[in-house]
């Protein structure tokens, strides 16, 4: 049996993912006030809600590790390599796209990490909603990848930028 998630844990995960209260409420089919009550410890967090936010966190971690792996960064843990690389259903995609990030510590065009200034820019680049998060989520994940790889970061607001966005290679 899974232990009960605390309000503090829920808040830490939500903040760590850069997900606004309103977005989380909408995604979970509840009101923003319900999310606030969970985080304040005033209401019990249902197991399916805890599972959903943990899943978002786990998916984010795998996507970040995948992007770092593609950059051939020393920031990729051996534990991740052993546990996850063989499990990627897109293992060939990882290998094929490795060249996108090869030598990424330079500033050559196309070798930077793209992120989005606004949710509108993010949605324009990802009209299908995959990944289904927010621009703030994308910026936080991009920061972690940049910190691990030394890759430069740039904003993009063009819809075709999704073709060069790290998330399209690590879903």
Instruction: Give residue-wise pLDDT tens across range 48-99.
Output: 999 999 999 998 998 888 887 777 555 555 555 555 555 444 444 444 444 4
Q: Which pLDDT score is estimated for 171?
A: 65
155 forms beta bridges with: 115
Q: Which pLDDT score is estimated for 20?
A: 94
Q: Which among 48, 49, 100, 92 is positioned nearest to 70, based on CA atoms?
A: 100
Query: Does 9 or 111 have the greater pLDDT score?
Result: 9
Q: Is residue 14 scored above 90 in pLDDT?
A: yes
The pLDDT > 90 percentage for the chain reads 36
Q: Which among 115, 107, 69, 108 is positioned nearest to 88, based on CA atoms?
A: 69
114 forms beta bridges with: 154
Q: CA 112, CA 130: separation in Å to the nearest integer?
A: 21
Q: CA 100, CA 70: separation in Å to the nearest integer?
A: 8
pLDDT band at 106 (very low <50, low <70, confident <90, very high): very low
Give the distance, in angstroms, between the CA of residue 39 and the centroid of all CA atoms in the same chain.
22
Q: Which pLDDT score is estimated for 150?
A: 81
* Site of tokens 């795998």: 62
* Site of tokens 């995948």: 66
Q: Is residue 126 scored above 70 in pLDDT?
A: yes
Q: Is residue 3 scored above 70 in pLDDT?
A: yes
Superfamily of domain 7-169: Putative cytoplasmic protein (1.10.3100.10)
pTM of the prediction?
Answer: 0.74
């Amino acid at each position: 049996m899974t232990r009960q998630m605390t309000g503090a844990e829920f808040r830490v995960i939500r903040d760590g993912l850069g997900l606004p209260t309103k977005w989380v409420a909408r995604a979970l089919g509840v009101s923003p006030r319900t999310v606030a009550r969970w985080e304040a410890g005033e209401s019990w967090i249902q197991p399916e809600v805890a599972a959903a936010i943990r899943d978002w966190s786990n998916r984010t971690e795998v996507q970040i590790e995948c992007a770092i792996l593609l950059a051939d960064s020393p920031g990729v843990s051996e534990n991740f390599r052993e546990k996850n690389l063989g499990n990627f259903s897109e293992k060939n995609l990882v290998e094929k796209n490795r060249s996108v990030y090869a030598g990424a510590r330079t500033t050559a065009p196309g070798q930077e990490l793209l992120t989005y200034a606004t949710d509108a820019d993010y949605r324009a680049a990802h009209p299908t909603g995959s990944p289904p998060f927010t621009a703030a989520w994308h910026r936080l994940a991009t920061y972690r990848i940049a910190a691990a790889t030394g890759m430069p970061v740039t904003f993009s607001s063009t819809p075709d930028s999704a073709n060069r966005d790290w998330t399209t290679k690590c879903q």
